[in-house]
Amino acid sequence: MVRTTESWVSSFGTVSALTGVGAASRVWVPGPLSATMNLFATVHATWSGAALVTGTADATHAHLTPALLHRHLDDLAGVTVVVAGDRLPPALHDRAVAAGVRLHHYYGAAELSFVAWGSHAADLRPFPDVTVSVRSGVVWVRSPFVCTRYDGPPGPLRRDDDGFCTVGDRGVLEDGRLTVLGRADAVTTGGETVAVADVEPVLRAAATGEVVVVGVPHEVLGSALAAVLTVPSDLEPVRAAARSALQGAHRPRRWFHVPELPLTAAGKVDRVTLVSLLSGGDGRARRMP
């Protein structure tokens, strides 16, 4: 992606005002700089005069994915944490706040930069200077922070004649709040295509831990929809939510427990590795009845 310096720098002052990052801050960014959320956080900290630190012990601020927040929750009391890279469920937000964490959450994309900001995934409002429109379930953005173009193969970024852009993320805009449903990652099961983004929010709303939906091989259906839980006691309430709110192929046919979700180098859930765990026999994933 090609972007102007101004498309990032113009948001620095707003981010500092929202998070309190300044010259006295100590910022922990554990993810790789190949992920734009971490690159932005590092450049912003340097611009602010803040020190970059290597762990939670010295940090006043941190930039984490939801999975890394969950993993380090016991060590973050008193730290201001900015969560991005995936949706922050309200339940995880509440647990973090109870543990003494000060939380911010934003939705964005590498091509779009900041789109919406709030405390968790159900409390996102358009970022200052950004106009958000949802058309046929797809999130469009008009913003000074958007990249200029791709340098190389084309990607998902599209533009219209009115200056709005999209990367294809699905969402709902209601009463000024943006609910992001994710991109149309899908599982084809029994000849029917099921968008993961239509299933995961329903299940996550009933869970205390994390829930991820993937497709696992099935000898008859081709793939079966599987729900993976990190908290075993979530099985009954999550299964009840599936029964009451989901129909047909959208209901998971397989249920698994893993104590910890595998992550990519960028700190996001590694769905490919997760499917391998579910199919393996090393005991790291347990089939639930």
Q: Which amino acid is at 240?
A: A
pLDDT at 197 over 90: no
Average pLDDT estimate for 9-24: 98
Residue 184's pLDDT band (cuts 50, 70, 90): low
User: In a 10 Å sphere around its CB, with 0-12 CB exposed, 13-18 middle and 19+ buried, how is residue 198 labelled?
Assistant: middle
Q: Is the per-residue pLDDT at 115 higher than 70?
A: yes
Buried b (16+ CB within 10 A) or exposed e, 245-284: ebeebbbbebbbbbeebbbbebbbbbbeebbebbeeeeee
Long-range contacts of 12-18 (CB under 8 A, 24+ apart): 12/44, 12/47, 12/48, 14/127, 14/128, 14/129, 15/44, 15/114, 16/44, 16/48, 18/104, 18/117
Q: Which two tokens stand for residue 241?
A: 């939510």
- As a whole-number percent, the residues of the chain with pLDDT over 70 amount to 99
Q: What share of the chain is helix, strand, coil (3-state, %, to 5)?
A: 30, 30, 40
Compare 163 and 67 and report the one with higher pLDDT. 163
135 CB-near residues (< 8 Å, 6+ apart):
none
**Which stretch of 75-84, 194-203, 272-281 has the lowest confidence by average pLDDT?**
272-281
Q: Residue 244: what are its φ and ψ, rounded to 5°?
A: -85, -30
- Mean pLDDT, residues 133-162: 94
Question: Please, are residues 132 and 178 in contact by the beta-carbon 8 Å criterion?
Answer: yes
What CA–CA distance (Å, rounded) separates 118 from 67?
18
Which has more confidence, 283 or 150?
150
> How high does pLDDT run on average in the chain?
93
Residue 206's pLDDT band, with cuts at 50, 70 and 90, is very high
CB 169 within 8 A of CB 201: no
Task: Give the model's pLDDT for residue 96.
Answer: 96
